[in-house]
Amino acid sequence: MARQRALIVGGSVGGLFAAQLLRAEGWDVAVFERSGGALADRGASIGTRQELFDILRSIGIALDPSAGVAVTSRICLDREGTIIGELAVRSINSAWDRIYRPLRDALPDECYRAAMRVERIEQDGDSVTAVLADGARERGALLIAADGINSTIRALLAPDVMPRYAGYVAWRGVIEESEMSADEHALLFGRMCFALPEGELLLALGMPGRDADTRPGHRRYYWIWFRPADEARALPALCTDASGRCHGSSIPPPLVRPEVIRELQEDAKARFAPPLAAIIRRTRLPYPHGIFDVEAPRLTFGRALLLGDSAFVARPHVGAGITKAALDAKGLVEALAAEPDLAAALLRYDRERRAFGSALVARSRHLGAYLEAEAKQRGATERLPETVLREYGTAGKIDGR
Ligand SMILES: Cc1cc2nc3c(=O)[nH]c(=O)nc-3n(C[C@H](O)[C@H](O)[C@H](O)COP(=O)(O)OP(=O)(O)OC[C@H]3O[C@@H](n4cnc5c(N)ncnc54)[C@H](O)[C@@H]3O)c2cc1C
């Protein structure tokens, strides 16, 4: 029997997981990635979960805990630097490139077409066609839209589904491990550290260094600080460069205005324990970006389906974007294996992955609700350290609840 062909739009982690798992089941795959080179390292720390390691292992990528920085506990620091909460939770904190790179390397180049933007799709009863920006047409039995939060394919198939601003931004930054003082390192590096000024949240932890280096002394210390910013004024102001150009809901790090960074550093000094404020002050290029929810009410459209961030984006508090993309791909392959009829398989994929994605988004919303810009008016700006330490992020299995 001729091998079935899957067209995959987007060559980041979601597209690569789908490509690898479908190939293992005998599918012919073609990944179309609009970006020309290797995808940029997002410089971000990635919380890992056991499910992620399991799926990577199933496609022959042996990634063990040495792929990241081990965290043994969570602490919460008050403004004076006193530990006001502590919980023993083990986790491994990795880097985006550490997951993306082996996935990309394991896929033969003939399956991966870089600098290929899919502009639209066409479908008939027997096939689906991707129409590329240069006019080329590619035909397959199935099309997987793994094209991210601003998905082109979702905009065509479900134009009403738009990313919804959550009412707050995440400031992110890193410093080199070697730039930390001995005291800062001893207090912070092997722990996930939280700080909870009113209506805000800071999370800081160790992560791999340049080229995903995990050798002691060569790693990095990463922080993410959630702060309310209303959509009409504060968000565009943060994302406007010195020439007056607004870059939307995020801004390239080198373009953040110096006065915005100075204000951030002053606010950090007023709100955080001295070691945390000092790390923020030493960070070279901190940058803000808006936090959004995406929730598609339907994942399949004939022979096309949404996967990963094109389907659901949960706020970073659940630290699950990559694992969810991997689980979506696994769910798709399992549905195709269980149901000989493609329509029935896609129905199953839609049912199972939609339930999971909706629950995950709801959970991330619950964890972030008190950060929303309007939360102050509702008087909901306080979170107890013990609740945050217990509920947050990446420990255990994702069950979406
Ligand atoms: C700063 C940051 C920190 C993060 N931290 C974490 C974390 O700690 N843990 C975690 O699990 N997740 C984290 N995430 C989320 C995680 O990176 C995403 O959930 C994950 O990358 C989703 O994968 P995806 O393949 O669905 O989408 P994306 O990674 O967004 O990839 C979409 C791809 O599609 C391509 N594309 C778009 N349109 C087209 C088109 N028309 N034609 C062809 N190609 C197209 C894009 O170029 C891109 O490569 C973080 C994300 C960011 C930005």
Classified as helix, coil or strand, 207 is strand
Report percent pLDDT > 90 for the chain. Answer: 79
Whole-angstrom Cα distance, residue 223 to residue 394? 16
Mean pLDDT of 348-367: 96
Which DSSP helix (H) or strand (E) runs through 201?
Answer: strand 201-207
Indicate the pLDDT class of residue 44, thresholds 50, 70 and 90: confident
Q: How far is the CA of 148 from the centre of ligand 1 (A)?
A: 5
CA dist 233 and 229 (Å) reads: 8
Distance 392 CA to ligand 1 centre (A): 21
Reading phi first (left if > 0) and then psi (alpha if -120 to 50, else beta), residue 386 is in: alpha
Distance from residue 379's CA to the centre of ligand 1 (Å): 34
Hey, how many other C-beta atoms are within 10 angstroms of the C-beta on 333? 22
Q: What is the mean pLDDT of residues 207-214?
A: 89
Does the structure show a pLDDT above 90 at 45? no
Written as one string, the DSSP assignment of 144-196 is EE---TT-HHHHHH-TT---EEEEEEEEEEEEEGGGS-HHHHHHHTTEEEEE-
Instruction: Say how many Å lie between the first and final Cα of the chain, rounded.
Output: 42
C-beta of residue 144 within 8 angstroms of C-beta of residue 332: yes
CB 72 within 8 A of CB 395: no
The residue that leads in pLDDT, 64 or 33, is: 33
Cβ atoms of 106 and 306 within 8 Å: the answer is no
Which residues form the pocket of ligand 1, taking CB atoms under 6 Å from any ligand atom? 9-15, 32-35, 39, 42, 44-47, 96, 117-118, 146-149, 152, 308-309, 316, 319-323, 325
pTM: 0.93
Q: Nearest residue CA, atom 18 of ligand 1?
A: 321
Say how many C-beta atoms besides its own lie within 10 A of residue 63's C-beta.
18
Give the CA diameter of the chain: 69
Coil, helix or strand at residue 248? coil
Q: Atom of ligand 1 at shortest distance to CA of 289? A: 1
Per-residue pLDDT band for 397 (boundaries 50, 70, 90) equals low
DSSP 138-156: EEESEEEE---TT-HHHHH
Q: What share of the chain is helix, strand, coil (3-state, %, to 5)?
A: 40, 25, 35
The protein residue whose alpha carbon is closest to atom 24 in ligand 1 is: 14
Lowest-confidence segment of 55-59, 62-66, 114-118 by average pLDDT: 62-66
| CA 200 – CA 385 distance, rounded (Å) | 12
Q: Minimal CA–CA distance to 114: which of 8, 221, 242, 239?
A: 8
For CA atoms 342, 344, 345, 349, give the dihedral sign.
positive
Q: How is residue 334 written in tokens?
A: 């399992």
- In ligand 1, the atom with minimum distance to the C-alpha of 43 is 1
pLDDT band at 390 (very low <50, low <70, confident <90, very high): confident
Ligand 1 centre from 16 Cα, in Å? Answer: 11
